Structure 1
């Protein structure tokens, strides 16, 4: 008990001595007119001063704020934070202060001073905590794990194999290791563009130019199943639950996982549309059947989903989607689940549905829609132009 009190007394004495040193240091900072002061907050040190608004703040002008650096309240920590105060003051004078350098302060290091693993961890936290992503955390988690994390792991591996490379060189080497004109190359470039922006890192080569031409050319080259092939493949699936999943994807153009996250009450009421719930990759949107008669053909008014774990506290959207792909393969479906989605999209084009409406129903942007289905949209628009010209010629 006495030992415990002795230690407590020693700590109080140490902190009192440190507080006195902080006062002296702050006097030096004030004399140098740096505009910053050091604060001790428990066992950590921080800076306070007039700083620009934080990212996402509604304020427009600099105001008094605290810069929490996680530096320990020790004699060595005091020396370190005094140097940080001088660096921050210089950045403010030169109008070069960037909050991103300090919001991810780790182990007493600014973002640019951290090693690659720390920078990636900071990037992940920033990605997951962005306000606009808070609306759909499950989709955000899936996007990170499937579209960002794999390429950052690959970057880490390449950087470890070639420690003499700079981070920029490692990024380009990682990009070049992935086949050109592939979906993977496109995702890789998107990931590293966002990562570089987060690090405030200027890349001399535009990654968009290195991503290749994935998109329209790939979709045009894909041989999509005909309506008859879609119907024939459905008949060969022996499990009613997975027949239902297949039929929903074919009729409504759903992504693999979306079948399990839909409001299907409209089908029970005899309607020809469903609502994709906000827990999915692209949030809530309404989808109509193309063809409506396939609702009856595939017996979709009798809801019979197979037993799949859908609790997003226990699984992810990606894992649900992978389960669908695995079942399609198991039952010998001769095309991928996404081919059903693409076939649905092309069907809407042939019916003359507006690209804006179709894109909204598919849960992506008009830009993505027109790029992906450029070939069929062009054919439709040309045919409409020809029909219109012929009508004018005939005086109709």
Structure 2
């Protein structure tokens, strides 16, 4: 049976409420659920249709909870026992009166419950972002933008900061679109001029004085590994590496391109540095510091990009094969390396349709 869309599920709840003569409707407010009903004005004089922003997450449990809340609100309306204090006490809906520290704590409780993430994931991800907000005063749009603009544009940090603060703002009822500030980190930010040539890769590998970090460099260059994957992989044979399932990016098998590097650098003799971390970025940060220490003129991740281009363009492996070996989807691979893939296709068509038809090759100039 096909999965019902969120819109359909909400409509079904509302249809049931209507049939049951319950004067309440479920509303989707951003990415959280709330209720709409005709309620007394807070002044105590008159009534009008109003929204109750309950901040209930859009999950299976959240849909059940919002339906229960709708029944409760309908009961209070029909018995004239509705009280704003009852509906505001848990959410402290006067968000302009509570400090951001309390808002974040309330949000944390609900977010962990709704998404079932580990405390460590919150601590090393969300907390590091949200603790940059002013903690002792109510959250404002200006505070949110200040935190975002303090990060470097077009980086993963900027992108994640925008994503996390967007969710917090939706919880807090602050209407703001932060996507326009996230920049173009990722696919569009990859510049062909930044990709090192194979000769340059070999040159700088040989300049690294530490055998352990030289091994890490070689693994990224030869097998296209992400920096943290070098610490969570094992060899199947001299040309084949298995990235373990315990990594955030998941299990996949990759192969040496070119195989000569795996043999010449004897990568199967593992010389992994003793580095500990709680999340992938911890290993990535350590790797970044080593690249800076050795004054390598390109970031570590560009070794992975060079591997992708070498496999897809130089060696002509199918997109699906390269994507599988690199641990991402064919769609991601196509989008990330669109420039090179398109140019290679154009060159192939040109050679077949134009150059191959020439009966008289051009004369070599004297």
Q: TM over 0.5: same fold?
A: yes
Shift of 1:380: 2.1
What is aligned with 2:102?
118
Partners of 1:92 and 1:362 in 2: CA distance: 57
| Equivalent residue, structure 2, for 1:254 | 225
Q: Give the equivalent residue in structure 2 for 1:38.
A: none
Q: Which has the higher helix share?
A: 1
Displacement of 1:262 after TM fit? Answer: 0.9
Counterpart CA distance in 1 for 2:321 and 2:77 is 51
Written as runs of structure 1 = structure 2, the 5 A alignment for 1:1-396 is 56-57=59-60, 89=73, 109-110=90-91, 112=93, 113=95, 115-125=99-109, 140=121, 145-146=124-125, 148-154=126-132, 156-157=133-134, 167-197=140-170, 199=171, 201=173, 203-204=175-176, 206-220=177-191, 223-264=194-235, 266-267=236-237, 270=238, 272-309=239-276, 315-350=278-313, 351-390=315-354
Structure 1 residues without counterparts, runs of 5 or longer: 1-32, 35-52, 68-84, 95-101
Tell me the CA shift for residue 222 of structure 1: 5.0
Superposed CA RMSD in Å reads: 4.3
CA distance in 2, matches of 1:119, 1:356: 45
CA contact (8 A) 1:263 1:276 kept: yes
For 2:127 and 2:333, locate their aligned partners in 1 and report how far apart those are by CA, in whole Å: 26
Distance in structure 2 (CA, Å) of the matches to 1:223 and 1:355: 22
Q: Secondary structure at the match of 2:204?
A: helix
Aligned length: 296
C-alpha distance 369-306 of structure 1, shift in aligned 2 (>3 A) = same
Q: Distance in 1 between matches of 2:309 and 2:192?
A: 14
- Residue of structure 1 equivalent to 2:5: none
Deviates more, 1:283-292 or 1:328-337: 328-337
Report the alpha carbon displacement of residue 226 of structure 1 after superposing the two structures with TM.
1.2
Distance 2:75 2:311 in 1: 55
**Distance in 2 between residues matched to 1:365 and 1:190, nearest whole Å:** 22
Whether the 8 Å CA contact 2:99–2:139 is kept in 1: the answer is: no
Q: Distance in 2 between matches of 1:316 and 1:61?
A: 34
CA distance in 1, matches of 2:141, 2:65: 32
CA distance 1:334–1:128, shift in 2 (3 Å): farther
The 1:262/1:203 distance shift into structure 2, 3 A limit, reads same
**Counterpart-to-counterpart distance in 2, 1:392 and 1:152:** 61
CA distance in 2, matches of 1:174, 1:316: 22
Q: Return 5+ residue gaps in structure 2 as ranges.
A: 1-21, 24-55, 79-85, 360-366
Contact preservation (8 Å) 1:349, 1:380 = no
For the Cα contact (< 8 Å) 1:290–1:348, is it kept in 2?
yes
Please state whether the residue corresponding to 2:190 is helix, strand or coil.
Answer: helix
**8 Å CA contact 2:194, 2:298 repeated in 1:** no
1:61 deviates by 6.7
